[in-house]
Structure 1
Amino acid sequence: MSRNTIRLVIILGVIAISGIIAIQIYWVKKAFDLKDQQFRQSTMVALRNVANQISKSYKLAKIENPVSQYSSDYYVVNLRVPLQQSLLEHLLKEEFKKNNINTDFEYGIYDCETDKIVFGAHINSDYEVEEVDQTIILPTTDKFLNYFGVKFPNQKSYLTSKLDFWIVSSIITMVVMAFFAYAMFIILKQKRLSEVQRDFINNMTHEFQTPISTIKIATDVLAQSKILEQPERFKKYVQIIKQENNRLKNQVESVLATARIGKGQIELDMKLQELHEIIGEVSDSVKAELEDNFTLDLNATKTTINADRMHLMNVIRNLIDNAIKYSGKPPKIKISTRNENNLLIVSISDKGIGIPREALPKIFNKFYRVPTGNLHNVKGFGLGLNYVKEIINLHKWKINVISEMGVGSVFEINIPLPD
C-alpha cells in the first residue's frame, strides 16, 4: 500500500469518524431535549393537578396556569391560601407517582411573614423523606402572593438514565471508532516496519557488498601464480582479506546482538570496573588513527563502577565510531569524565555535522539512521545507538544527547557510583 493511499484512507477515516461523532452528538442531544420536554410537561401536569386539588378542597375556582417554571429544575405553584406541609407533601407524592416522575425532589412553602420559603423536605425516588446534610434554600418570586416551590436536584442525571438506547448506541459507536483507530495504527505501524525492513536490507546489502567485493578482488590477486614472487604484496592482500573478514564478522555480530537484546537473552556479567582503564583500552586504536584530533580529558576522581566490561567497551566504541562517522575530515573527538554528586559522567563529543532537532527522539530506535539524502556516505545498519541505549537501560544508567546542526554532538552517560 503506497504512502498516498494510506494518507487518503486516514483522511477519509477521520472525516467519517468526525461525521459519525457529530451525528451521534446531535441525536443524543435531540433525545435528551425530548426527554427534558416530556419531563417538563409531566411535571407541569402534576403540579397543576396539585394546585387544582388544593383549590377544590378550599372551594376556590380553578386557575388556568398556576405553575410557573423558575429555572430548568425549579417550579413555583400559585397556592392562594396558606397550606400545611404534610398535606402538600402527600399531594405531591401522589401526583408524581401518577405521572411516573421517579426522581428526587425538594419542596418548600412561602412564608409571607419572613419573606422566605420554608423548606419542607427532600423526597427521594422511592417517595421517602431523606435527611440532607445542609440547609436547602429555595429561590423566592414576586409573581404569586402564596405559593410553594419544587426543585429537582438530580434532574439531569435522571434524564440521562432514561437514554438507555442512546447510551448503548454511543458505546457501540465508540467501540467501532476505537477499532478503526486501532486498525489505522496497525496499518501505519506495518507500513513503518516495512520501510524499516526495506532500509535495513538495503543497508545490509551495501555494507556486506563492500567487504565481499574487496575479498573477491584480493583472492583473485592471490590466485595469480606471480604473487608468490612478491611476498610483501602477498602479505598485504592476506592482511586485507583478514581485515574485511573481521569487518563482516563484526557486522554479523552487531545484528545478532541486537536480536538477542530484543528477545531479552542478554545477561550482564556485573563486576567492579575501572572506567578510565576501559576508556584507555578502547581509545588506543582511535588515538593512533586520529592522533592530535582525539582528546582525553579524564577529570573524574571516583571511577570505579559496577558494569559488564565487554558491553561497556562496546558502548564506548559504538559512541566513538558514531562520532567519527558524522564528523568532518578530519574528525575531532573528545572523551571526558567528571564526578557530579554521586554520579560518574562520561562525555563523548564531536565537532561534526550535528543531529537535526526532529531526529533526536528517534536516534536510539532500532534501524534508524539520520537522513543524509540519497547518498550512502555513512556506513552502518542503524543498530549502534540502539545497542547503546539497550545496554545502558540494562545497567539502569541514563544517556543524554545534546546536538546542534553544524556544531556537533555530545553524548553523556550518567553512571551511579557504587555505595
Structure 2
Amino acid sequence: MGKHIIRRVIALGVVAIFGIVGMQTYWVATTWNLNDTEFSQKAQLALYGVARQLAAENKADLPKRDIVRQRSSNYFIVNTESEIDAQRLEYLMQQELQRLNLDIDFEYAIFDCSTNEMAYGGYCYADTPQLPDDGPVAGSYLPPDESLLYYFGVKFPTRIGYIWQKMQLVIFLSVILILTVVFFIYSMIVILRQRRLAGMQKEFIDNMTHEFKTPLSTIRIAADVIARDPYVASDARLARYAQLIYDQYERLNEQVEKVLQIARIEKGSFDVQREQIDLQELLPPLLSSARARTEERDGHLTWQLPDRPIPLHADPLHLANILHNLLDNAIKYGGETPHIAVVGRISRGHLHLAVSDDGPGIAPEHQDRLFEKFYRVPTGDVHDVKGFGLGLYYVNQICRAHRWNIRVESKLGRGTTLHLRIPLSTTSEAVTA
C-alpha cells in the first residue's frame, strides 16, 4: 500500500471518526435533554395532581399561579395554601408517580411554621409501597422558600440514574462506537507498523538483489573462460560442469532481473518504451527455445499463428519477457510431460493469444489471486516447482502498463490457458512511434 493511499485512508478515517463522534455526542446530548425535559414535566404534573387532591380534601382553593416551583434539576416546591398531612402526602405522591409511569425514588419535607424550617418527611423507594419514617437520609437537605407559608418540597435524588436508565440503548451504541474508534486506531497503528516492516523488507531485498549483480557477472565471466579452455572442452565431465555453472548463472540472473524490474515498477521509475514491432519476428526464437525445453521433458510444443504480419505497438523487451514468462509457466506447471499449445488469432483489430497446457489445472478459489505478488498455488508439502511467485505478477503489471487484457481459464485436471488480448498497431501509431 502506497504512502499517499495510507495518508488518504488515515485522513478520511479521522474525518469520519470526528463526524460520527460529533453526531453521537449530539444524539446523546439531545436524548438527555429530551428525557430531562420529560422528567421535569412528569414530575410537575404529578406534584400538581397531589396539590389539587390535597386542596380538594381540605376544601381549599389552589393558588392561581406558581403552584409548582422547580428550585433545581431534582428539587421541587409545591404551594398548597392549606395544611398538609404527611401520610396522605406520601400516599398521593406514590399514586401520582405510578399513574405517570415515573418509577423513581423521592424524599419529601413539609414546611413547619413553628420552626420556620422544613420538617423532613421520609425517603420513599419506587419499588416499596410505603416505608416507615426513619428520619432524614444522611447528607439530605431540602431548603425552604421564604415567600410561601403552606407548602412541601419533593426531591428526586436518583434523577440522573433514572435518566441514564432510560438511555440504555444510546449508551450501548455509544460504547460500540468507542470500541469501533479504538479498533480503528489500533488498526492504523498495525498498518503503519506493517508498512514500516514491509518497507524495511523491500529495501533489504532491493539491496540484496543489487549486491548479487557483481558476483553474478564474475560467475558469468569465469564460466565463459572455463568453457573456452581447450583442456576443459576436451574433457566431457569438466565441460558438463562448466555448462552447469553457466546454466545456473542464467537461472539466478533471470530471477534477480525479475526482482529488479518489479522494484522499478513499484518505485514508479518503470517506463514503457513503445516501438513498432512485428510479433512474427519476436515470437519464433522464444517458441524454439521453449520447444527445446519441452522436448527435454519428453513433451512437445505446438503453435498456430496467422499467416500474415502481426504489427504491435509495444515495448519489445517487456513483450518478450511476458511471452517468455507465459511459456515458462506452461512448461513448469504442464505436468511431467508438458503438452504446450500457442494459438494466435486476429479479430476486430486485436490479437488474441492463448498459451495452454494440459497440467493439473488450478482450482477456482486460487484463480483470482494468480496475479498477486509472491502468490503461488498451494501444493501442500510438495514443492517440485521452484519459483518466487513473481512471474505472473510481472506479466500482469506489464499488461496494465500497456493497457492490455490478460485472464486465466482453468479447470482441475484439464489444464490451464492464459489469454492475452493485444490491440494491433495502426499506420498512424507506426508514424507516431
Compute the displacement of 1:339 (Å): 2.2
Cα shift at 1:403: 1.4
Asked whether 1:398 is paired with 2:426, we answer no
Whole-angstrom CA distance in 2 between matches of 1:258 and 1:231 = 41
Change (3 A) 1:242 1:310: same
For 2:359 and 2:233, the matched residues in 1 are separated by 45
Distance in 2, matches of 1:181 and 1:259, equals: 27
Which residue number in structure 1 is paired with residue 242 of structure 2? 238
Secondary structure in 2 aligned to 1:405?
coil
In structure 2, do the counterparts of structure 1 residues 189 and 360 end up closer, same or farther at CA, with 3 Å as the change threshold? Answer: farther
The corresponding residue for 1:150 is none
- Determine if the alignment matches structure 1 residue 182 to structure 2 residue 210: no
- Segments of 5+ residues of structure 1 without an aligned counterpart are 1-20, 47-61, 63-162
Query: Of the candidates 255, 271, 277, which is equivalent to residue 275 of structure 2?
Result: 271
Q: Tell me how far apart the structure 1 counterparts of residues 343 and 175 of structure 2 sit (CA, whole Å).
A: 63
Distance (whole Å) between structure 2 residues aligned to residue 346 and residue 251 of structure 1: 25
Q: Deviations over 1:129-148 (max 9, x none)?
A: xxxxxxxxxxxxxxxxxxxx
1:51-73 C-alpha deviation (Å, 9 max, x unpaired)? xxxxxxxxxxx9xxxxxxxxxxx
CA distance in 1, matches of 2:240, 2:276: 41
Report how far residue 384 of structure 1 moved. 0.9
Deviation of 1:258 (Å): 1.9
- Does the alignment pair 1:320 with 2:324? no
Please name the residue that 2:263 is paired with: 259
Change (3 A) 1:174 1:287: closer
Instruction: Give the distance between the partners of 1:372 and 1:300, measured in 2 at CA.
Output: 40
How far 1:318 moved relative to its partner? 0.5
- CA spacing shift, 1:266–1:43, aligned 2, 3 Å: same
Q: Give 5+ residue unaligned stretches, structure 2.
A: 1-19, 45-61, 63-169, 427-433
Residue 310 (structure 1) aligns with: 317
Counterparts of residues 147-166 of structure 1 (less than 5 Å): none
1:361 to 335, 349, 368: 368
Q: CA deviation at 1:314?
A: 0.7
> Match for 1:387 among 373, 382, 394?
394
Residue identity opposite 1:285 in structure 2:
S
Preserved CA contact (<8 Å) 2:334 2:357: yes
Tell me which amino acid in the other structure corresponds to 2:398: I
- Aligned mates of 2:412, 2:175 — CA distance in 1: 53
Matches within 5 A, 1:2-401: 34-38=32-36, 174-183=180-189, 185=191, 231-291=235-295, 293-299=300-306, 303-401=310-408
Structure 1 Cα separation of the partners of residues 281 and 232 of structure 2: 43
Q: 1:228 to 1:297 in 2, by over 3 A?
A: closer
CA contact (8 A) 1:302 1:339 kept: no
**1:43/1:297 Cα in 2 relative to 1: closer, same or farther (>3 Å)?**
farther
Task: Letter of the 2:246 partner, please give it.
Answer: K
In 2: Cα distance, 1:239 partner to 1:351 partner: 31
Distance 1:228 1:379, change over 3 A: closer
- Matching residue of 2:115: none
The amino acid of 2:184's aligned partner reads: A
| CA–CA distance in structure 2, aligned partners of residues 175 and 244 of structure 1 | 53
Structure of higher CA gyration radius: 2
Q: What SS does the aligned partner of 1:378 have?
A: coil
- Report the 3-state secondary structure (helix = DSSP H, G, I; strand = E; otherwise coil) of the residue aligned with 2:383: coil
Indicate the SS of the match to 1:335: strand
Letter in 1 for 2:391: G
The AA in structure 2 aligned to 1:391 is I
Residue 41 of structure 1 deviates from its aligned partner by 7.1
The 8 Å contact of residues 272 and 304 in structure 1, kept in 2 or not, is answered as yes
State the AA in 2 paired with 1:387: Y
Name the aligned partner's letter for residue 379 of structure 2. Answer: T
Give the Cα separation in 2 of the matches to 1:397 and 1:228.
Answer: 48
Q: Specify whether residues 400 and 228 from structure 1 end up closer, same or farther in structure 2 by C-alpha distance, changes over 3 A only.
A: closer
TM-aligned CA deviation for residue 296 of structure 1: 0.4
Return the letter of the residue paired with 1:315. Answer: I
TM-score, normalization by structure 2: 0.50
Report the alpha carbon displacement of residue 406 of structure 1 after superposing the two structures with TM: 1.5
Query: CA shift at 1:402, angstroms?
Result: 1.1
Q: Which amino acid aligns with 2:331?
A: I
Q: Aligned partners of 1:393 and 1:367: how far apart in 2?
A: 18
State the 1:351 CA deviation.
Answer: 0.7
CA contact 1:301–1:339 (8 Å) conserved in 2: no
Q: Per the alignment, do residues 167 and 327 of structure 1 end up closer, same or farther by CA in structure 2, a change over 3 Å counting?
A: closer
**TM-score between both structures, scaled by the size of structure 1:** 0.51
Contact 2:407/2:419 (8 A) holds in 1: yes
8 Å contact 2:290–2:328 — kept in the other structure? no
